[in-house]
A and B are shown apart, each in its own frame.
Chain A
Amino acid sequence: MEGTLLEPTLYMVKGIAILDNDGNRILAKYYDKNVFPTAKEQRAFEKNLFNKTHRANAEIIMLDGLTCVYRSNVDLFFYVMGSSHENELILMSVLNCLYDSVSQILRKNVEKRAVLDSLDIVMLAMDEICDGGIIIDADSNSVVSRVALRNDDIPLGEQTVAQVIQSAKEQLKWSLLK
């Protein structure tokens, strides 16, 4: 393994994927045109990746020239891919952000069914974490605040004070407009 200095670029993430417990894709995005350009290659890679990772909970693996960090819960597998020389810890921070954001969005209920029910919000979260390979944000709190959760979905007890006030304001505004 030849060591190389890393090129100073913001384009660090080669791909993000969420797979279910059969290795099927729930959501996946590849950001580098040279890495798996076709859907077929992506599928093959995901299949391979899943086979190598679903049994051993080892957090990190090198596959097909990529460093992949991963995390799983119940029936979901979260992956973040970067080039084989990439700083693993940066990739890990992205993965943690992805996982924690999804966890917060789904209120700790990180399961396939829940993800599919809130697929729109999870898509938005993924978009907020990484744009075309550039890490936009790696702080889950900030990601969640940006994806515009439907406030009314959250039971009152779990809302923050600010959220309660915000929704109260909104309601007041609408009642005034009527």
Chain B
Amino acid sequence: MSSFKRDKKEEEDGGGNPFQNIEKTTVLQEARVFNDTTVNPRKCTHILTKLLYLLNQGEQLGTKEATDAFFAMTKLFQSRDVILRRMVYLGIKELSSIADDVIIVTSSLTKDMTGKEDLYRAAAIRALCSITDATMLQTIERYMKQAIVDRNSAVSSAALVSSLHLTKLAPEVVKRWVNEAQEAVNSDNIMVQYHALGLLYHIRKTDRLAVTKLVAKLTRISLKSPYAVCMLIRIAAKLLDEEDTGADSPLADFIESCLRHKSEMVVYEAAHAIVNLRRTTSRELAPAISVLQLFCGSPKPTLRFAAVRTLNQVAISHPAAVTACNLDLENLITDSNRSIATLAITTLLKTGAESSVDRLMKQIATFVSEISDEFKVVVVQAIRALALKFPRKHSVLMNFLSAMLRDEGGLEYKASIADTIITIIEDNPEAKEAGLAHLCEFIEDCEHTSLAVRILHLLGKEGPRTKQPSRCIRFIYNRVILENPTVRAAAVSAMAQFGATCPDLLENIQVLLARCQMDSDDEVRDRATYYSSILGQQDKGLYNNYILETLQVSIPALERSLKDYALNPGDSPFDMKSVPIAVIPTREEAEDKHKADGMIISSGPPKPPTVSREESFAEKLGHLPGVADLGPLFKSSEVVELTESETEYFVRCIKHCFTNHVVLQFDCLNTLSDQLLEDVRVQLDPSEGYTVLREIACPKLPYNETGSAYVVLQFPENDLPNSVGTFGAVLKFIVKDCDPNTGLPDTDEGYDDEYMLEDLEITLGDQIQKINKVNWGAAWDEAVATCVEMEDTYSLSSMSTLEEAVKNIVQFLGLQPAERTDKVPEGKTTHTLLLAGMFRGGIDILVRAKLALADGVTMQLTVRSTDGDVAELITSTVG
């Protein structure tokens, strides 16, 4: 009985798998049978199958092992068994990349390829093309050409597909087969037609005219193969996207006509193309939307998925166009495929009205626990967008998010919820208290250290300004008791923020910090001691500098500077001012990131952090003679174009600002194919006070290449008002005429020439780096004691709205708006804009601009800066 049970168990355990316990060494041993004089097809097929199975399971063969197996396999060509031969082809393909001297089977394969047995020919061609190299290809070229136009469709397909693979190896050779491919496009077989079109397009894709012709010809005759039509739609869409013709292009008509094709595959492809074309207007969108709407009701899940996924995409760009499908999307909410349901709901959330939000949220709640984390993130993203769109719905959305926070889920999912709550808090002051309360609750039970630390940090920043700061402190101190050292340390920092901001809580905080000084972890103890002693000083200035404000320098740069300093410690102490300031990402970059977040799929691993723009410039400039002595790079401006982009020479300028110097980088592009430029330099006519220290020319500038010339200037000494100025600029160079094809100059003699550039301005903004002041108010109050204040009133008559004024001021001064004052609430006629930044040389600047809207905008500008001249400069240049 027991043995019977065991047998049964084995059977269930996959004892039924004849391939379960095979080993590489045994199979390779067995493969020696291949060398026997008489081949036993069944036995050999089985061994070969085992070998291929092993390879397929991911087993690695060494070169020697592979070569031995390969050569043993070639012996099997003497058998006439069809399956064995076909397995040999498979084996050749698998081993061709590992084994040596695979070229040896060329003649055997060529024989099979040209032989009578149809079952061999197609597969032989594909195997042959996997072992061939560029030189061998010449010898089989004749056979390939014949095979492409063979009557047998399998042979023809195999030849076309292999040709496409070979374009990677020998594009020039394959190009010669274009006539044969052309003939094959007219084949009756649908797959041959498809493969031929693919090959033809690949050969001609760099030649726009030829592609246009190809498409024009093929759109007239109706292709039989739905695959080929899909391919043709893609080619046509690509052409349409690249050119800017009017709406009545025949290509657009072709794609539109494909919406009525009998194959669903083609209809969907056409709809997808129309939706994704940049130039599509809502009128052209309508027919595509209506076929997608039809698909929404299909019994096939894939079709429904495809339709709703595409509609989801449309909802981002043309929400109004999708509203027609709302009813169909509603039906999909209950779809058994949760991916479809999620997509349907998020689409509806994007297009729906404020009134439907409650109902939809209730719907999602019913199944949110069943969908995968990835789709939950999609739902969270949709809610984020919704909260920004309908601020009044924040309580419903916030409750929903907090419920989601309590559910099980991975870090990425939880982080996206926390992010969304933070965004809502930042965007909508009304939601702040509720949001913070939810986050407080969440950290009570949060298993992700990084997330807990982030939330604690946020609580430290925002908590003190709520109505009841003491409530938050309880949650935070709980962390100190219960959590791991990292979280405890973060909690200590957060508590210190409360102590610094809320004087009435200071005493309690001191007690808590005193307890933390008994902690078992060094970092926690250190922080507690540090904060406790600063708070003990009762000095507002100290609070601001050491508790409330964080470091403004870029951390990687700080690390590098400290390392350099540690290697060569000089006599002077380390100067924080020499470290470049962290660059604040612009609004667009941040938005781009959010857009990427909205993707349904995780698009692979995150990219490594890119080096900041300033740092890469600093590195590049450091190699120039004389620049290294100028000190650290303070700021690099945006790119300024000094010519129109379509002129003979295209010149752009980047202004790199140092403490007392400015380096102008001129990126020049030569767009004349018959000229070689040498010794390209820019001659400046600097404004008063500036001294040109050095000009660095670009030695050679061939056609279509970009080279850089530099000018190093010194700012006017002790004369700040003149540091804002306009320079005339002329591009000077030696022209050598050359042959457009080779790029070699005709003669060694060149002639001097020059080219007028547009005037270049050094603005105030170029000399100011943005700084993010978290606690602007505290810094402002403190600055009364240490700074010089300047005030002036201006009338900005050219501005008609407050938004416009705010945008212009921020751009002009190059300062960072603090406390989100760059967003003007709707319907207000007055607004206060708070700005912070640093002038070159490490001079702090704080600016308050009170704006009032009447006829035009009136502005009262108050500047506080540690340097009076800078303050004066700012007030004098505005206006």
A residues whose Cβ falls under 8 Å from a Cβ of B: 1-10, 20, 22, 25, 27-29, 39-40, 42-43, 52, 56, 58-66, 69, 84, 87-90, 92-93, 112-113, 116-117, 119-121, 123-124, 127, 131-132, 134-139, 142, 146-148, 150
Contact = CB atoms under 8 A, between A and B. Distances in A.
B693 interface: no
A171 B164 CA distance: 40
B602 A123 contact: no
B273 A123 contact: no
A88 B306 contact: yes
Contacts of A52: 372
B302 A92 contact: yes
A64 B601 contact: yes
A6 to B, nearest CB: 5
Contacts of B264: 89
B58 A39 contact: yes
User: Which bracket fits the contact residues of B?
Assistant: 35 or more
Given A88-B302, A116-B18, A28 B56 contact: yes
B815 to A, nearest CB: 33
Chain B contact surface mostly = helix
Interface of B: 14, 16-19, 45-46, 48-49, 52-53, 56-58, 60, 82-83, 86-87, 90, 93, 119, 122-123, 126, 154, 157-158, 161-162, 164-165, 191, 194-195, 198-199, 201-202, 205, 227, 230-231, 234-235, 237-238, 241, 264-265, 268-269, 272-273, 275-277, 300-303, 305-306, 309-310, 312-313, 316-317, 336-339, 372, 374, 595-596, 598-604
B83 A90 contact: no
B310 to A, nearest CB: 8
B276 A5 contact: yes
A43 B18 contact: no
A95 B87 CA distance: 23
Given A8-B201, A60-B302, A87 B230 contact: yes
Closest 5 CB pairs of A and B: A39-B58, A10-B198, A8-B234, A58-B337, A59-B301
9 contacts: A6-B272, A59-B305, A59-B337, A63-B374, A84-B600, A88-B302, A120-B49, A123-B90, A137-B154
B599 A1 contact: yes
Contacts of A148: 82-83, 86, 119
Contacts of A8: 198, 201, 205, 231, 234-235, 238
Given A8-B238, A90-B227, A137-B157, A3 B337 contact: no
B164 A10 contact: yes
Contact of A121 (B83, B164, B339): B83
A65 B599 CA distance: 10
Given A6-B237, A62-B339, 7 more contacts: A22-B14, A27-B56, A60-B305, A136-B191, A137-B157, A146-B122, A147-B86
Nearest to B84: A120
B83 A150 contact: yes
A20 B595 CA distance: 38
A66 B601 CA distance: 8
Nearest to A28: B56
Nearest to B201: A8
A61 B237 contact: no
Contact of A60 (B46, B310, B337, B602): B337
A144 B577 CA distance: 75
A49 to B, nearest CB: 11
A22 B273 CA distance: 39
B235 A134 contact: no
Nearest to B371: A56
A22 B16 CA distance: 14
Nearest to A25: B57
A98 B199 CA distance: 24
B602 A65 contact: yes
B185 to A, nearest CB: 13
Which of A8, A22, A69, A138 has the most chain B CB atoms closer than 10 A to its own CB? A8
A146 B119 contact: yes
Contact of B339 (A22, A61, A132): A61
A162 to B, nearest CB: 14
B276 A3 contact: yes
Contact of B53 (A22, A119, A137): A119
B58 A120 contact: no
B45 A120 contact: yes
A47 to B, nearest CB: 13
Contact of A124 (B90, B268, B301): B90
Nearest to A52: B372
Contacts of A90: 227, 230, 265, 269
